[in-house]
Chains A and B, each alone.
Chain A
Amino acid sequence: MLKQVKEIYEYREMIYTLVRKDLRGRYKGSVLGFMWTFINPLFQLLIYTLVFSVIMRSGEEQYYLFLFVCLIPWMFFSASVTDGSTAILREKEMIKKIYFPRGVLPIAAVTSGFVNMLLTFIVVIAVTLISGRGMNPVAYLCLPLVMIVEYLLCIGVAFIVSALTVYFRDLQYILGIITMGMQYASPVMYRVNDDRVPAKFAWIFKVNPMTSILNVYRDILYDKVVPNPAELGYAFCLGIIFIVFGFWLFNKLQKGFAENF
């Protein structure tokens, strides 16, 4: 397995070019081009602000921010699952004809989503500061940590779903439904300990690997507290488990890729 890791490292330039190609190609031909990366979340935020502070008032002060600091990391996760599931299928012509460590494809798919999230975070942080929410500098130091943990988890998940989808094509559509459901079994829209969440459903939140990560994001950005080390540590372990298991499974399954298209 170490050999495979080393090989992927040797192909880092390929990951880089794939990510660049994806990011540059995304808004190709549009007038505003790359600006859409910022305009999109900005308007999304504007709509949430309107809806949740005028129509659907919530118990949380500044609910739009409460929602937004978790929604952006969640969207990165959900994009990693859906884009990741087709990462291998999309490049089947290349896989049939040329060798490269197949692992670079899901890694590149997740990385371009990650870069997109980082850019969106410029908007998130700017709005938190402007809206008068303020910041806790010590807590902010943990932000890169939780981002890396989420990145690892997403790569792990993408390894698993990209490899399985080759053998079982329906998975890409099933995953779309699963991630949609998972969003409501996560702390994106309400706190896990919210009164409205029945105690007998609490286990669903525990099963969701994103729960701890989202809690940490909210601690840092919304509640302005240094996240609980145990929660961050748990999330980190989960990330490691996913990436190790994912990579192991991926390497098992990748041998048959070229024959299953």
Chain B
Amino acid sequence: MDNENAIEVKNVSKAFKVYFDKGTELKEKLLFWKRNRFENRVVLDNISFNVKKGEAIGLVGRNGCGKSTTLKLLTKIIYPNSGTVELKGRVSSLIELGAGFHPDMSGRENIYTNASIFGLNRKEIDARLDEIIEFSELGDYIDNPVRTYSSGMYMRLAFSVAINVDADILLIDEILAVGDANFQAKCFNKLREIKGNGTTIVIVSHSLAQIEQICDRSIWIKEGHIEEMGLPKDVHLDYLNYMNSERIDRKEREEFAKINRGNRYGSQKVMFSDVHLLDAEGKDVKTIRTGDGVTLDLKYECKEPIEDAVFGFGIFRSDGVWVYGTNTRIDRKPNFDIKKDGSYVVKIDELNLIPGEYWMDVTIEFGEGNPVDYYKKALKFEVVSNITDVGICRIPHEWTLNI
């Protein structure tokens, strides 16, 4: 094992046997031994990755892609069918909070029980006791039986123990939903502090923003293999793009006819034949990061010529709020006629929209607002960001503080 690495996963594969009809009793085993048919479901297929000491990585992927299985392999709850998993140092996992809690025992006694399951001895627990109690904000309640606690108090206590173990490697599965907003913020800060002290962290989460705030690297697992590994911001964009295109594709297929009939009106002498939203590299995108540059790429077919044509587009938020709209006339482009098939592009340097779902209308008109092809919801896209500002659009700004 490389000295710089805290975790090494090499060529790991894992399959689960899914029994159609499993018998664990003697009778069943004897009577139905022929019936023990099963199917090998491959969850992880030859994955390898390393995590350096002090590094924080996030595992992302859709439900059932194998990311939780990966985490379970790291904690040694389950073992791979082939390949090796090596970890160096004490491991603490925030997968199951409050393991071994006994409802009749006091919070203080349960700290000992719970911490001992993380492998701490008495002296080590004694040394951390004050800090754990303080972090849990339980105060005098700490000597009451745990069964009298509210669920929030219970989780706070459990989280406080787990996070104060001082592990070398911390494995986290969707836990930052503990307690109220204040406590969550506190947990998050604690996590940063832990990371600052050089603890290696692996997080499984559906909250990409949380991963981006903590992690140095993201691993996108897709159908049991590693699809992409790299800076969270890059990986997440590709991941969201994939997820959105899957979702939107499905929706589009379902709504195709409806869109064509109901969402398009005008004389249709000229019609859009192709509508695309491209990123800076010219790739088709369905997910955009706030502030990214995009290009609207449109093709049209001309059935009958029209004079004095006007192209336009409008952006709407998913709840129908009209965010922006303009056309060639408003933007004072010279007048033009359409006589044959053609195309045009609209380049947007910075699409400063607040995260959310949006759609875009594209239009061809002639004269003073006579619709030729008014194509509603021609495009749907999502905007993401790890900044949590609010409103409709991000107005560029700068703070100067004179304190």
- A residues apposed to B, CB below 8 Å: 10-14, 16-18, 21, 25, 28, 94-100, 167-170, 255-256, 258-259
CB-CB under 8 A from A95, the residues of chain B are: 77
Given contacts A13-B125, A25-B104, contact A98 B119 (CB under 8 A): no
Contact call B117/A98, Cβ cutoff below 8 A: yes
Asked if B95 contacts A98 (CB within 8 A), the reply is yes
Contacts of A17 in B (CB 8 A): 100, 112-113, 116
Smallest CB separation, B392 vs chain A (Å)? 43
Task: Decide: A14 near B16, CB < 8 A? Known: A98-B75, A169-B24.
Answer: no
**Closest chain A CB from B37 CB (angstroms):** 17
Q: A21-B105, A170-B25 in contact; A98/B99 too (CB < 8 A)?
A: yes
Q: Say whether B121 faces chain A, with CB atoms less than 8 Å apart.
A: yes
Q: Contacts A21-B105, A25-B102, A97-B99 hold; do A13 and B78 have CB atoms under 8 A apart?
A: no
Tell me the minimal C-beta distance from B123 to chain A in angstroms. Answer: 9
A-facing mask of B53-71, CB < 8 A → 1, else 0? 0000000000000000000
Task: Provide the residues of chain A in CB contact with B174, threshold 8 Å.
Answer: none
Is the Cβ of A97 less than 8 Å from the Cβ of B113?
A: no
Please measure, in the bound complex, the distance between the C-alpha atom of A98 and the C-alpha atom of B131, giving whole angstroms: 23
Q: Are B91 and A99 in contact (CB under 8 A)?
A: yes
Do B100 and A94 have beta carbons less than 8 Å apart?
A: yes
Chain B positions near chain A (C-beta within 8 angstroms): 16-17, 24-26, 29, 72, 75-79, 91, 93, 95-96, 99-100, 102, 104-105, 112-113, 115-122, 125
Known: A14-B119, A25-B104, A100-B119. 15 other contacts (CB 8 A): A11-B116, A11-B119, A12-B121, A13-B112, A13-B115, A17-B112, A17-B116, A94-B100, A95-B77, A97-B95, A98-B75, A98-B93, A170-B26, A255-B79, A259-B78
**Across-interface contacts of B125 in A (CB, < 8 A):** 13
**When the two chains form the complex, which single residue of A28, A97, A167, A170 contacts B77, counting CB atoms closer than 8 Å?**
A97
Report if A14-B117 is in contact (Cβ < 8 Å); known contacts: A97-B96, A98-B95: yes
| Nearest Cβ on chain A to B344's Cβ, whole angstroms | 57
A94 touches B99 (CB 8 A): yes
Shortest CB-to-CB span from B321 to chain A, Å, is: 44
A222 vs B99: C-alpha distance when bound (angstroms): 46
Write out the residue numbers on chain B whose beta carbons fall within 8 Å of the beta carbon of A94. 96, 99-100, 117
Closest 8 pairs (CB-CB, A-B): A97-B96, A13-B116, A14-B116, A170-B26, A255-B79, A99-B75, A17-B113, A17-B116
Give the docked Cα–Cα distance between A97 and B95 (Å): 7
Q: Given A98-B75, A259-B78, are A13 and B120 also a contact pair (CB < 8 Å)?
A: yes
Contacts of B122 in A (CB 8 A): 13, 16
12 A-B pairs within 8 Å (CB atoms) are namely A10-B121, A11-B116, A11-B119, A13-B112, A13-B116, A13-B120, A17-B112, A100-B117, A100-B118, A169-B25, A255-B79, A259-B16
B72 and A10 contacting across the interface, CB-CB below 8 Å: no
* A17, A95, A96: most-surrounded residue (chain B CB, <10 A): A17
In Å, the complex CA distance between A13 and B117 comes to: 8
- Least CB distance, A30 to chain B, in whole angstroms: 13
Chain A residue nearest to B99 in the complex (CB): A98
- The answer for the CA separation of A94 and B48 in the assembled complex, in Å, is 28
Q: Which residues of B contact A97 (CB under 8 A)?
A: 77, 95-96, 99
In whole angstroms, how far apart are the Cα atoms of A255 and B100 in the complex?
Answer: 21
Residue of B whose beta carbon sits closest to that of A171: B26
Q: Which residues of B contact A169 (CB under 8 A)?
A: 24-25
Considering the chains assembled together, what is the distance between the CA atoms of A259 and B72 in angstroms? 11
What residues of B have a CB within 8 angstroms of the CB of A98 in the complex?
Answer: 75, 77, 93, 95-96, 99, 117
Which A residues are in CB contact (< 8 Å) with B78?
255, 258-259
Residues of B within 8 A of A100 (CB): 117-119
Distance between Cα atoms of A190 and B74 in the complex (Å): 54
Q: How far is the CB of A79 from chain B (nearest CB, A)?
A: 21
Nearest B residue to A10 via CB reads B119
- Complex Cα distance, B102 from A21, in Å, reads 8
- Minimum CB–CB distance from A93 to chain B (whole Å) comes to 8
On chain A, the residues within 8 Å of B91 by CB distance are 99
Contact partner, A168, options B24, B113, B121, Cβ 8 Å: B24
Given A21-B102, A168-B24, A169-B25, A99:B116 Cβ within 8 A: no
With contacts A13-B122, A94-B96, A94-B99 taken as known, whether A21 is within 8 angstroms of B113 at the C-beta atoms is yes
Contact A258 B72 (CB under 8 A): yes
Q: Which residues of the other chain, B, contact A18 by a CB distance below 8 angstroms? A: 100, 113
Give A167 to B25 CA distance when docked, in angstroms.
9
> Are A16's CB and B116's CB within 8 A?
yes
Q: Contacts A11-B116, A99-B75: A28 and B96 contacting too (C-beta < 8 A)?
A: no
Q: Do A258 and B116 have beta carbons less than 8 Å apart?
A: no
Residues of A with C-beta under 8 A to B100: 17-18, 21, 94
Q: Chain B residues near A259 (CB, 8 Å)?
A: 16-17, 78
Distance of A46 Cα from B105 Cα, bound (Å): 35
Closest B residue by C-beta to A101 = B119
Cβ distance B162 to chain A, nearest Cβ, rounded Å: 10
Quick check: B77 and A258 within 8 Å, CB to CB?
A: yes
A94 to chain B, nearest CB (A): 5
Chain A residue numbers with a CB within 8 Å of B72 are 258
In this complex, what residue of A is CB-closest to B94? A98
Measured CB to CB, the closest approach of chain A to B24, in angstroms, equals 5
Q: What's the Cα separation between A12 and B95 when bound, in Å? A: 22
**Shortest Cβ distance from residue B89 to the other chain A in the assembled complex, whole angstroms:** 13
